[in-house]
Chains A and B, each alone.
Chain A
Amino acid sequence: MTLQTVLLLAAALFSIGLYGAISQQVVVMVMMGLELMINGLILAAAGFWWFLFPHPSGQVLLMVIIAAMTVEMAIGFAVATLLHRDHEADMTDMAGDLSE
């Protein structure tokens, strides 16, 4: 286990998440893609922390990343609920209100 291998794995997770976030049509699946991208970020930050500068402040940064992920999920679920309630939509293509 080296910094390079950890970063490679993080890059793989980030790229898979990016593919999902771009290509998926269902709102929840797009959120899953975003989650996977943040998953890669968490791992990369943890790797940097351990291999480069194991100071407690790095762990605090990780807590901030996890908090951002929680906020994304909570508001994402709420918006998906609103979309579903408003026009029975669960696909991103059906939610073009702001582009009209």
Chain B
Amino acid sequence: MFVDVVFWVMTVVAVVMGAAVFVVDSMARATYALALSFVAVGVQVLLLHQDYVGVIVILMMVMEMAVMAVYMVMFMGMNPALMPMSMVHDKRKALAAASVVFLTLAAGALLIPWPTRRGQPSSDTTRALGEALMGSKMLVMTVVSPVMVATIVAGIVIASKRSRYDRLGDDLRGAADHSADPQRGGVGR
């Protein structure tokens, strides 16, 4: 009973806040609406007995939305909470596409005769996840880890203002031009 009440409350929060992201007229409000929607989904993942994943979703999304808010203040050059905005194109087609997708998915969810549950969950799902990641599913960890490192490197390379490729050319063999650098830096090239 308690679980059902929490589930339905979180369902309403997740959907209303998710829709609010594209309805409210400021980016700051949209960011916090999305954060709330994610927290609601995180709580539902907790209700589905995936303690670790649920907590990760909540923590990660709250931090991510905080970063996003800072990002918007940085780049939009305005106080995003005070700036009304509506920047959409093809609204009608987008609404139609989204409606068709929802109806198709909902029909699938309701009409497919889902099988009954196979197997029983372990008593401590977090421990089971840890043992899977460090045991039989270690390949997943060994693949995700380099992907994360590559993401960090790629993010910095894409976003950095003036890298060694700008100074030394694509093959890194050009003459160093430090004229546009605020500080010379480097290792004496």
Q: Which residues of A contact B (CB under 8 A)?
A: 1, 3-20, 22-26, 28-29, 32-33, 35-36, 39, 42-43, 46-47, 49-57, 59-60, 62-64, 66-67, 70-71, 73-75, 77-82, 84-85, 90-91, 93
Q: Which B88-141 residues have C-beta < 8 A from chain A?
A: 88-91, 93-95, 97-99, 101-102, 105-106, 108-110, 114-115, 117-122, 125, 128-129, 131-133, 136-137, 140
Give the interface residue-count category, chain B: 35 or more
The docked-state distance in angstroms from the alpha carbon of A46 to that of B108 is 17
Contact B11 A9 (CB under 8 A): yes
A59 (CB) vs chain B CBs: closest residue: B129
Chain B 61-79 near chain A by CB (<8 Å), digits 1 or 0: 0001001100110011000
A-B contact count (CB 8 A): 223
The docked-state distance in angstroms from the alpha carbon of A74 to that of B147 is 12
**CB-contact partner of B30 in A29, A55, A73, under 8 A:** A29
Known contacts being A18-B98, A53-B119, is A47 close to B48, with CB within 8 Å?
yes
- B76: shortest Cβ distance to chain A, in Å? 7
Interface of A, secondary structure class, is helix
- A83: shortest Cβ distance to chain B, in Å? 10
11 contacts between A and B (CB under 8 A): A15-B101, A23-B89, A23-B91, A32-B21, A46-B50, A53-B117, A60-B133, A64-B140, A73-B64, A81-B158, A84-B75
**CB-contact partner of A56 in B18, B45, B105, B131, under 8 A:** B131
Contact residues in B for A54 (Cβ distance below 8 Å) = 49, 117, 119-122, 125
Contact B60 A66 (CB under 8 A): yes
Contact B106 A8 (CB under 8 A): yes
Contact residues in A for B131 (Cβ distance below 8 Å) = 56
**Is the C-beta of B53 less than 8 angstroms from some C-beta in chain A?**
yes
- A62: shortest Cβ distance to chain B, in Å? 5
Contact residues in A for B94 (Cβ distance below 8 Å) = 18-19, 22-23
Interface of B, secondary structure class, is helix
B7 (CB) vs chain A CBs: closest residue: A1
Contact residues in B for A93 (Cβ distance below 8 Å) = 89
Contact residues in A for B152 (Cβ distance below 8 Å) = 74
Q: Which B13-27 residues have C-beta < 8 A from chain A?
A: 14-15, 18-19, 21-22, 27
- B158: shortest Cβ distance to chain A, in Å? 4
The docked-state distance in angstroms from the alpha carbon of A71 to that of B68 is 15
**Is the C-beta of B165 less than 8 angstroms from some C-beta in chain A?**
no
- B83: shortest Cβ distance to chain A, in Å? 11
